[in-house]
Structure 1
Amino acid sequence: MFIPLHDHNSWEHVVSPVVTWGLILANVAIFLMVQGAGLGDAGHASVYSYGLIPSVFFDQKDLPFALDAVPAGWSVVTYAFLHADFMHLIGNMLFLWVFGDNVEDAMGHVRFLVFYLLCAAAGGLAYAVSAYGSDVPLIGASGAVSGVVAAYLMLHPKVKVWVLALGRIPLRLSAQWLLGAWVAYQIFNAVFAQESRVAWSAHIGGLAAGAVLVVFLRRSGVRLFDRGL
């Protein structure tokens, strides 16, 4: 749909968005070191060991001992640090890079980390419920990143964002139109997309969590919807 590049939105409360940077580094490191860049036995095994499998999460089935790396309940978060390939990783990390810093600025480091993990969990739970009984594992930071997008949209709808539309056309648009269209696209696909490899329900879960949590986790005095800009 579009590739985010840069927003003209300075930080007001933090010196550096260290949690956002740390999350990006963690995702990249896990993809390379734990998943073997998504290739071979390491890439395949990690998906089942740390991904969110609804049938395992709800104790309907058990993983083989060799793949049972973490308690099933933990997978509601661990899945969000795995990716299928480089494009999957880069896409999620670009969104986190462009929009995560300002959400972290609005919340503070610790609250932003809690926010990110809760959005990941909400996305994972939404998928697990919608795909109840499925053996198909969920991986990717999209649920958590969707929460970041929802928070950014509620905090800074008037900010201009540079993107590549259709992967090649540079455009500078207000976040309210750009991210609003992105949210609508997620909802449309969640309702109408059939047999898609994309877990749209996880995106919706993350979006809903992000929209609610930003109201309570933002710093005192931080206004929503760019009021006073």
Structure 2
Amino acid sequence: MFPIRDHNPSGRTPYVTYGLILLNVGLFISYWGLFRDPRAINALFFDWALIPALISEGQGYAGILTSMFLHGGLMHLAGNMLFLFIFGDNIEDALGHGPYLGFYLASGIIAALTQYVAQPLSVVPTVGASGAIAGVMGGYLLLFPKARVDLVVILIIVIKVFPVPAWLMLAVWFALQLLGELSGQSDGTGVAYLAHLGGFIGGMVLILPVWLRRGGPAFWNRTHGRPPHPTGRYTDTIRIPKTGRRR
């Protein structure tokens, strides 16, 4: 089960979101060949990933920022970029290009610090944009809780698209991260659930002033939690058409 699109067209071209996707993809391509050499890829991650034990020793501070632009594999990158593509444009539309970039980076830093505070002696490198993207998802939950999100559900040979409200999809995602952390799955899967949780909550806190300026609960009452503009219309196929906001 994974999202493929939302019914929430943005009113401006999301240059920062596109730039972040291109940056992450470009960087991954630049070191992709290193995955054939475990020593080389481990050296790269030692220098640029988040390693809590190094920070506790007074080293590796750059990894708090640079780790969010590294990925541990092709599927890791693809999944993160898909979520950023779906949810990032609307937060960029709401904040503006510059503030959105600051919001994204701040969410990633909060996620990294959450992981560090929880496991300050860990020597396992943490990489990925998912903490920052979790912040984008947290902001989306506060601003557009009832925007429709299309999920592709694959049941053996049956593929079906289900539209669901954003709050439901994001709540399930958050619950899965919490369950993964509480059950200790991070030790076996290598997933930094705490970073995801910290980024998500951090994004909600960071977006809170914008939500309050729009009226807070009154904004929800006015929009009923849906995007305050006409939504995109899609067929029930998986093809993703281009759409823009009608004024």
Match of 2:196 in 1: 203
Gaps of 5+ in 1: 63-71
Structure number, greater radius of gyration: 2
Amino acid in structure 2 at the alignment position of 1:51: A
Please state if 1:44 is matched with 2:51: no
Determine if the alignment matches structure 1 residue 17 to structure 2 residue 14. Answer: yes
Stretches of 4+ aligned residues off by more than 4 angstroms? 217-220, 222-227
Distance verdict in 2 for CA 1:174–1:53, change over 3 Å? same
2:179 to 185, 188, 202: 188
- Structure 1 residues 54 and 146: CA distance shift in structure 2, 3 A: same
Counterpart of 1:68 in structure 2 is none
Shift of 1:124: 0.7
**2:143–2:211 CA contact under 8 A, matched in 1:** no
Matched, 1:75 2:60: no
Aligned alpha-carbon RMSD (Å): 2.2
> For the Cα contact (< 8 Å) 2:80–2:129, is it kept in 1?
yes
The count of corresponding residues between Structure 1 and Structure 2 is 216
Shift of 1:219: 9.6
Residues 35 and 52 from structure 1, CA distance in 2 versus in 1: closer, same or farther, beyond 3 angstroms? farther
SS in 2 for 1:105: helix
Amino acid at match of 2:29: L
Cα distance in 1 between the residues matched to 2:45 and 2:220: 40
Q: CA deviation at 1:169?
A: 3.3
Question: Which stretch shifts more, 201-210 or 190-199?
Answer: 190-199
After TM superposition, the score normalised by the length of structure 2 is: 0.80
Matched, 1:179 2:170: yes
Q: What per-residue deviation string (whole Å, max 9, x for no partner) do you get for residues 168-204 of structure 1?
A: 4321111111111111111222222242311111111
Query: For residue 118 of structure 1, what is the aligned residue in structure 2?
Result: 106
Letter paired with 1:29: G
SS where residue 4 of structure 2 aligns?
strand
Question: How far is 1:37 from its partner?
Answer: 6.8
Give secondary structure in 2 for the equivalent of 1:135.
coil
Distance in 2 between residues matched to 1:117 and 1:138, nearest whole Å: 16
With over 3 angstroms needed to count, the CA separation of the structure-2 counterparts of 1:165 and 1:22, relative to structure 1, is: same
2:43 and 2:212 map into 1 onto residues whose CA distance is 41
SS in 2 for 1:116: helix
1:47–1:18 Cα change, 3 Å: same
Q: 1:105-160 CA deviation, whole Å, 9 max, x = no partner? A: 11111111111111111111111121111111100111111111111111111111
Tell whether 2:223 aligns with 1:215: no
CA-to-partner distance for each residue in 1:12-55, whole Å, 9 max, x for gaps? 4xx20101110001100110114547443553322111100011
- TM-score, normalised to structure 1, is 0.86
Equivalent-residue separation in structure 1 for 2:220 and 2:34 (angstroms): 40
The alignment-based identity, stated in percent, is: 37
Task: Check whether the contact 1:31–1:37 (CA below 8 A) recurs between aligned residues.
Answer: no
CA contact (8 A) 2:49 2:66 kept: yes
Instruction: State the secondary structure of the residue aligned to 1:11.
Output: coil
Distance 1:46 1:130 in 2: 24
- Helix, strand or coil for the counterpart of 1:73? coil
2:225 aligned with 1:228: no
8 Å contact kept, 1:190–1:204: no
